[in-house]
Amino acid sequence: MKTDAGNNLRNRLLGATVSLGVGAGVVAWLSPEGTGGAGPAKVVEGASASGYRSVTEAVANAPSWASTAMEMATEGTLVLLGLILVLVWWIALRRGDVRGVAGTVMIGVGTVAAYAISETVKLMVIEERPCRVVPGAAAAIAECPEVGDWSFPSNHATLAAGLAVGLALLRPRLAAVTLPLAAVAALLRVMVGVHYPHDVLAGVILAAGVVVAVLLALTPPALRLVSPLIERLGRNDSDPEGRYGRRPAAPAGRHRAGPSLQHGQPAGNLPAEPHYFRPFRADLPQTSDNGHHSGRF
C-alpha cells in the first residue's frame, strides 16, 4: 500500500516536471531573442510577422461595431472562463465534491502562477509590440499599449489557456466550451493588433504546462486539506434527508430516540439507530453524487 502511494507520488512529480520542462522549452524556442537580449526585440519579418499582417489586414475594413465587439470580447472571454470556474467550484461545494472543490482551487493557483511567470518572461525577453514595428501592417483596432508593456508572451492568452485547460482536465465535458473560448481569446489578441501569433502561442503553452504541473503535484495535498473542511460543513440545509452527512433534525416536541418511547416500548427493545451515509470518510474514495470520479484530477 505504501509502495503504491510512493509510486503514485513519484509518477505525479515526474509528470509535473515533464510538463514544466516541455512548456519552458517551447516558450524559449518561440522567444525572438531567447532571454536577456541587448534591447527590445523587433520582429519585422518571418512567419509570425507575416501572419500578423494577414490577420490584421483581414479585419482592417470591419465596421466600427465589429471592431468594438472584438475589443470587448478580448476581455469578455476571460470573464466568461472565470465565471465558469466559479460556477464549477460552487456546484462542487454544494454537492460536497471534494475533488471538484480542490481541483478548482488548484486551477486558480496554477493560472495565477502562469500569469506571474508570463510577467517575468516579458521582462526577460523584452519584445516590442507589433502595432509599433511591423511594416506594412494595417492599423491596430485596439490602442497600442505604451512602451514598456512588452509583447512576449501574451498575458491574455496565458490566463485564458490556464483556465480552459484546467477546467477541461477537471471536467472533460467542459472542454468543448472552454478550449474554443481560449482559442478565440488568443486569436482576438492578434486580430485587434496588439500581439504576434507567436506571443499568444507561447502564452497558451506556458499556461498549459504550469496548470497541468500544479494539478499533478498539488492535487493530493489539496484533497487532504479540503476533505475535513467539506466534512465539517456537513452539507446542507436544502438536503432534508441528510444525504450529505448531516442528520435530519428531530420534529419539535419529540425525543430523538423516536416514537417508541412515547408508546411505552421498553428501552431495551428500541429499534437500531438508523445509519446515515457519510460520503467523506477518510477511508473511502471521494466521488461525486453519481458515484464516479468527475474528471482526471
Tell me the C-alpha distance between 42 and 105, whole Å: 38
Cell of 126: 523584452
Average pLDDT over residues 257-262: 43
**Stated pTM of the model:** 0.77
Q: What pLDDT is stored for residue 278 in this prediction?
A: 37
Distances (CA, A) of 49 to 25, 56, 133, 204, 266: 22, 11, 10, 19, 88
Q: Is the pLDDT of residue 67 over 70?
A: yes
127 φ/ψ angles, rounded to the nearest 5 degrees: -105, 130
Q: What pLDDT is stored for residue 1 in this prediction?
A: 54
Better-scored residue on pLDDT, 267 or 200: 200
Dump pLDDT digits (tens) for 97-152.
Answer: 999 999 999 999 999 999 999 999 999 999 999 999 998 888 889 889 988 889 99
Task: Give the lowest-confidence range in 16-30, 94-108, 149-163, 237-251.
Answer: 237-251
Concatenating the DSSP letter of every residue in the chain gives -HHHHHHHHHHHHHHHHHHHHHHHHHHHHH-TT-SS-SS-B---SSHHHHHHHHHHHHTTT--HHHHHHHHHHHHHHHHHHHHHHHHHHHHHHHHT-HHHHHHHHHHHHHHHHHHHHHHHHHHHH-B--HHHH-TTPPPPSSPPPPTTS--SS-HHHHHHHHHHHHHHHHSGGGHHHHHHHHHHHHHHHHHTTS--HHHHHHHHHHHHHHHHHHHHHHHHHHHHHHHHHHHHH---TT-TT-TTSPPPPPPTTS-TT-GGGGGT--GGGPPPPPP---TT-TTS----TTSS--S--
